[in-house]
Amino acid sequence: MNAVVYYSNTGQSKAIAEYFAHQLSFPLADVEQLSNVCYKNLVLVFPVHCQNVPHVVEKFLKKLQVQNLALVATYGKMYHGNVLWEIQRKSIFNIVAGAYVPTKHAYLQQDETFDSFDKLHCVVEKIKNPSTICFPKLRKNSFANFFPKLRSQLGVKLRKNARCNGCGHCTEQCKLHAIDCGVTNNKCIRCLKCAHTCPQNALDYTLSLPLKLYLRKQKTTQLVIYV
């Protein structure tokens, strides 16, 4: 079986996954709703979180059985770290293509989404004619592995406002069980899926000053492709 599987909180990785699913005529699936883990050809699209692979994706990779795997990591134009190399190092998958795709940052309001889909065409072609590749080891911020969840929690405050009618949509959406009717617990990684999908627009978030300063300047906007 072939598929394009995505993990996406604010829709950026989902949009890239939809492109691959359309181009390859592969079925599209959300990693959080999957039961199947055996594939012939698989494209996995996910966001970079604090220069790391999100926990949900790591869990999926541990169960995965696949013949040919393509990895596409979206990032918010800060820095993508070294996640593709890290996945390859820890696994025995036959990896046939990869990309770091710059997209809108989940924490920034006015930022354009990725629209240079024509540049991803070579990845599509490589998935159709697969052969093994090796990702180069890239630099990674030495602090990236230190308490990434705690750093996100300190950097982003999330609060429900008066529009909350207790509908429980946020509780349903959060697969990490990190929010209950607008109130977050310690499992929250500040992915902001709840805030972006709340039908009442009842969740506000504010960024700490150090995070605001960090996000003020885009660090890299490069689309990096490995085929």
Work out which of 26, 75, 93, 100 binds ligand FMN, going by CB under 6 A. 75
**Binding flag, residue 56, ligand FMN (CB under 6 A):** no
User: What angle do helix axes 12-24 and 121-128 make, rounded to 10 degrees?
Assistant: 50
Stretch in the footprint of ligand FMN (CB under 6 A) among 31-39, 46-54, 131-139, 164-172: 46-54
Stretch in the footprint of ligand FMN (CB under 6 A) among 31-39, 99-107, 131-139, 203-211: 99-107
Stretch in the footprint of ligand FMN (CB under 6 A) among 100-108, 122-130, 157-165, 200-208: 100-108
**Binding flag, residue 47, ligand FMN (CB under 6 A):** yes
Nearer residue to ligand FMN within complex by CB, 30 or 172: 30
Q: What is the CA radius of gyration of the chain?
A: 18
Work out which of 5, 19, 26, 49 binds ligand FMN, going by CB under 6 A. 49
Nearer residue to ligand FMN within complex by CB, 134 or 143: 143
Q: How far apart are CA 53 and CA 55, in angstroms?
A: 6
- Looking at residues 142 to 201 of the shown chain, list those that interact with ligand FMN (rule: CB under 6 A): 152, 189-192
Burial 117-150 (b: 16+ CB within 10 A, else e): beebeebbebbeebeebebeebebeeebeeebbe
Nearer residue to ligand FMN within complex by CB, 11 or 130: 11
Minimal CA–CA distance to 101: which of 184, 140, 54, 45?
45
Work out which of 23, 41, 68, 74 binds ligand FMN, going by CB under 6 A. 74
**Binding flag, residue 78, ligand FMN (CB under 6 A):** yes
Nearer residue to ligand FMN within complex by CB, 88 or 103: 103
Please state whether beta strands 2-6 and 28-30 pair in parallel, antiparallel, or not at all (unpaired): parallel
Tokens of 202: 């009842």
| Closest CB 118 distance from ligand FMN, rounded Å | 19
- Looking at residues 9 to 38 of the shown chain, list those that interact with ligand FMN (rule: CB under 6 A): 9-14
Work out which of 42, 43, 50, 124 binds ligand FMN, going by CB under 6 A. 50
What residues make contact with ligand FMN under the rule CB under 6 A? 8-14, 47-51, 74-80, 103, 105-106, 152, 189-192
